[in-house]
A and B are shown apart, each in its own frame.
Chain A
């Protein structure tokens, strides 16, 4: 069955009142939703409240789900809307319209001191002895470094990289969800990924 077909089948079962189908959805998304909501609000407790609220929104809106986006994106959209409202009330959320200007482009991907004046490597990256992400993550708590770095990212970068790389959404979906232009999204993603690579580099070989 196609993804869209599967999504619609799950939705139908829930609308028919099948508790197991809803439980499956909760198992699949609860932690992901809390993780994402935490990017918008100031505490874990508030993030959990936002997620509770999201589930109510999911149940109440389910009859209108038409499968035009994936169920995952649809649920994330409900969360983002609620988390954002909550974040604004806390005066924490940055309006996305203010993004991608100066400051976002400012930080170079790699410390400029590592290049010659002609822009060639003078301190090139040392080889990472990992060929797969699994191998990489097994080394010296690389996972912890990734998670800590995600928390340190500016909020807008964190949201984009969480949705794109952690949750695996497509670029167009993320742009729609965060109401950000494709170009801005790419800049934010680039900054976030560069920073995460740097953090791993420092951790893995004590470089930079």
Chain B
């Protein structure tokens, strides 16, 4: 299953994996806030934050290559954000557009790496439990829990639909077929919606009354 890659390093016996999930969650949030709050031109601070991240990646046992691949996947998004935000920043006057844009890109990258690394070294279930214990609202944690659980079910469903489509497609075309793609997305949405109703019925059938109760 392709989504298994999400948790490949979560059960490694490495220092970061052994830490309490609550500590990791809090540290990650503090780190992201610190990175975001670093002003343009504070090169020393930014470098220190980058070094810290490199050190943590080293400790985690997650191959940097893998993180780089994910980062590349999000580069379009970062680029877009930077282009939108950088010209509007007042620091532009002192440092020039290129420097501001690169700083924003660096900050995005560090925040992104912190989040991905946190998820890589913590099994998602543990992370959810940590959120609950830290007082994150139960509705939010449950929503994340359902998202995580049904991500696997929906990708399997999507895989089957794509295979079925392929079995009935006889042309070979290098172009992306948008009509086909929108059809798939629509059907997937409908199926997810119907499944949502059935899951709700199954929860009611086992006595759910709107209150989230868990074992830990």
Real complex partners, A and B?
A: no
* Chain B residues within CB distance 8 Å of chain A: none
